[in-house]
Structure 1
């Protein structure tokens, strides 16, 4: 009798251990969404095509560059997932922004500067949740870093540094000082540092005085580190936070090579 009980328990444990339907993985204490193939006839994707693709391309299309009036959906996904790796938090953040777009809430200041703030549209909240959930789960592939890392996208202005406003230079100095003087093993402090750096960077990106080639260069610089800032804001791992802080220190150390 005991032998049969052992066999039954073993079979049950085997089934429990063979769950191949997990929606996420845990890496460095951070939930990372497992990409899924969302069928073209799924409700969420159908709603996305009907409601979102009116303004947003699914992916960047160089042939239609002049027709872009909003950032591609894949870029929205790439901006939100580092800051909101948890599915429910991601959905809430996307819904909150769509319901009430504002510069204070945006994670994409460069896109706001380029395309203007998203207009406020009244959505059915159930449908909006389907769209946000689909955006979290859908595999849209990946895009090259559109803003490129330093040394590749950045360039001097005919051999001269780009001239920024005094207040912008002071803001960057403040960022560098915060990074260099930071010394905390508390994850909440690290997350706050990421938010402080991002908020300071956002002020510069949204400055209406910066246009044309000058804005493009500013965008190249901050675009190259936006994933690092978002990751530092959201990570729950001190190890990961330390990595992001060091990357930001290195990148900002090069700022004065291009701007003054």
Structure 2
């Protein structure tokens, strides 16, 4: 009798755990779906609003008119490892791009400050969030360029944003 009661108790606990896991997985899947929708919006906005200048299809560093998005992610990640700070800093610069607020002094020297655009803050936040949360498409030439020209962050502006223009 005791063994039968023990078996029933073990089975009840096991089935109860399965139900909780199922509910938990459903909640996770709902969150994941919402996350994927936000990711898709961020990618779509980045493709529509950023890639015209921050192209991933350029043939070389000499053919670009603005740094690729992967370079922006790398530089902002050096300064802002925290997700919220990264997103806020990127949104702040893209909202009001001024040379004195720029982190990427090499890009400023090559391209000047980004022209001010009429972007909605909500769209910039989705783009910045996408950039932080995902792997960013990289031009074929970028890794070689980065290894040759930006060892230890060289040429990307220093962390105090005091690198002098040459």
Give TM class, smaller chain: 0.5 to 0.7
- Matching of residue 83 in structure 1 with residue 45 in structure 2: no
Contact preservation (8 Å) 1:69, 1:115 = yes
Task: Confirm or deny that 1:145 pairs with 2:147.
Answer: yes
Aligned residue for 1:104, secondary structure, equals helix
Q: Could you list the runs of 4 or more consecutive aligned residues of structure 1 that deviate by over 4 angstroms after TM superposition?
A: 13-17
**1:129–1:149 Cα change, 3 Å:** closer
- Tell me the equivalent position of 1:199: 161
Counterpart of 1:7? 14
Cα distance in 1 for partners of 2:112, 2:15 equals 62
Quote the Cα distance in structure 2 between the aligned partners of 1:52 and 1:76: 12
Structure 2 residue corresponding to 1:55, chosen from 46, 53, 64: 53
Secondary structure, counterpart of 1:98 in structure 2? helix
Query: Is 1:97 the counterpart of 2:59 in the alignment?
Result: no
Q: Name stretches of at least 5 consecutive residues in structure 2 with no aligned partner.
A: 1-7, 30-35
Question: Rg bigger for which structure?
Answer: 2
Q: Is the 8 A contact 1:59 1:73 kept in 2?
A: no
Residues of 1 paired with 2:53 and 2:78: CA distance? 24
Structure 1 residues 76 and 146, CA, compared in 2 at 3 Å: closer, same or farther? farther
Q: Deviations over 1:69-117 (max 9, x none)?
A: 1111111111112322332222111110011112332220111011101
State whether residues 59 and 140 of structure 1, in contact with CA within 8 Å, keep that contact through their aligned partners in structure 2. Answer: no
What is residue 42 of structure 2 aligned with on the other side? 44
Cα distance in structure 2, aligned partners of 1:149 and 1:121 = 32
Task: Judge conservation of contact 1:59–1:74 (CA < 8 Å) in 2.
Answer: no
Which structure 1 residue ranges, 5 or more long, are not aligned? 22-37, 154-193, 211-260
Query: Where do residues 1-260 of structure 1 align in structure 2 (5 Å cutoff)?
Result: 2-8=9-15, 10-11=17-18, 12=20, 42-58=40-56, 61-62=59-60, 65-140=61-136, 143=143, 144-149=146-151, 195=159, 198-200=160-162, 202=163, 204=164, 206=165, 210=166
TM-score, normalization: structure 1? Answer: 0.44
Q: Counterparts of 1:61 and 1:20 in 2: how far apart (Å)?
A: 41
Greater share of residues in helix? 2
For the residue of structure 2 that corresponds to 1:134, the secondary structure is: helix
RMSD: 3.5
Closer, same or farther in 2 for the Cα pair 1:88/1:110, shift >3 Å? same
Measure, in 1, the Cα distance between the counterparts of 2:78 and 2:150: 18
C-alpha contact (below 8 Å) 2:42/2:130 kept by paired residues = yes
